[in-house]
Amino acid sequence: MPFQPVDNRRLYEQVADQIAALVRAGEFAPGQRLPAERDLAKSLRVSRPVVREAMIALEIAGLIEVRVGSGAFVREQPAAPAVEVNTGHSPSDILKARMLIEGETAALAATRATPLDLAAIAARQAEMIAERDAGREWRAADLGFHVAIARASGNAALAALVERLWQEQHAPVFSLLSERVRLRDNWAATVSGHVAVLAAIRGGKRRPARDAMRAHLTQVLSVLTGNAPDAPRPRNGKVASGRRTR
């Protein structure tokens, strides 16, 4: 099969571009089923989550149709060659970036948060629960929870960065993948993760707060991709965190 290995720069787009080129060159006929996800991953030497993201990008571009339980098929009338696959950063990369940055904002908040900061974080958590209980959209309150933690770190630039990374989750690939895996149904784990993060920040020590935030985001990544590579691994029942700090 004429696939070529890809490098590590924005992998899912390179995979999508390569498959798109093969479709347009007639290697896969309209209506033909593409190789299975695991076979594509092996041929392209990338992870299955990368292939999954590429399939969603191609679906958005109008080249393929993903039939749940059956696989990915070339559309009978694929989009014109001028269509480019450019649908945002990799969902996996976004979550991994959040782990790194928000782990540290939580660690800083543990030693810098004022009583007012802690009240603001708790208020956003309570707002999120109230909005969901009322049947309303609760993602703004979820964002508010994470931004309140970043603000409690005492670094306004970090707060802006956390919000920017959150907005990346509205990109087409992230949005469609979230819908496909029913990420919104991850409610109980989300609340549990927030409770653990807030408790750790209130505890006033950096390492538990960092660990709790990373564990929360690792769980989200696991749901989103079915695999959480490069995420912190448990050690003695806790998520590993690097050097020991207060």
Q: What is the DSSP annotation of 180-215?
A: HTTGGGGHHHHHHHHHHHHHHHHHT-HHHHHHHHHH
Q: For 39-91, what is each residue's pLDDT tens digit?
A: 999 999 999 899 999 999 999 888 899 887 788 999 987 665 544 555 778 89
Can you say how many angstroms the Cα of residue 217 is from the centroid of all Cα atoms in its chain?
Answer: 8
11-74 CATH, one of 1.10.10.10, 1.10.287.130, 1.10.10.60, 3.30.420.40: 1.10.10.10
Give domain limits for the chain. 11-74, 91-239
Q: Which residue has the higher pLDDT, 223 or 84?
A: 223
Q: Are 210 and 107 spatial neighbours (Cβ–Cβ below 8 Å)?
A: yes
Reduced to 3 states (helix: H, G, I; strand: E, B; else coil), residue 126 is: helix
Task: Tell me which fold the domain 91-239 belongs to.
Answer: Four Helix Bundle (Hemerythrin (Met), subunit A) (1.20.120)
Reduced to 3 states (helix: H, G, I; strand: E, B; else coil), residue 165 is: helix
- Cβ-based neighbours of 122, under 8 Å, separated by 6 or more: 198
pTM of the full structure: 0.76
% pLDDT > 90, the chain? 55
The predicted pLDDT at position 9 comes to: 55
Q: Are 37 and 52 spatial neighbours (Cβ–Cβ below 8 Å)?
A: yes
Dihedral pair phi/psi, residue 72, rounded to 5°: -105, 135
Unique residue bearing structure tokens 């970043």? 150
The predicted pLDDT at position 83 comes to: 47
The predicted pLDDT at position 7 comes to: 52
The predicted pLDDT at position 62 comes to: 87
Q: Are 88 and 172 spatial neighbours (Cβ–Cβ below 8 Å)?
A: yes
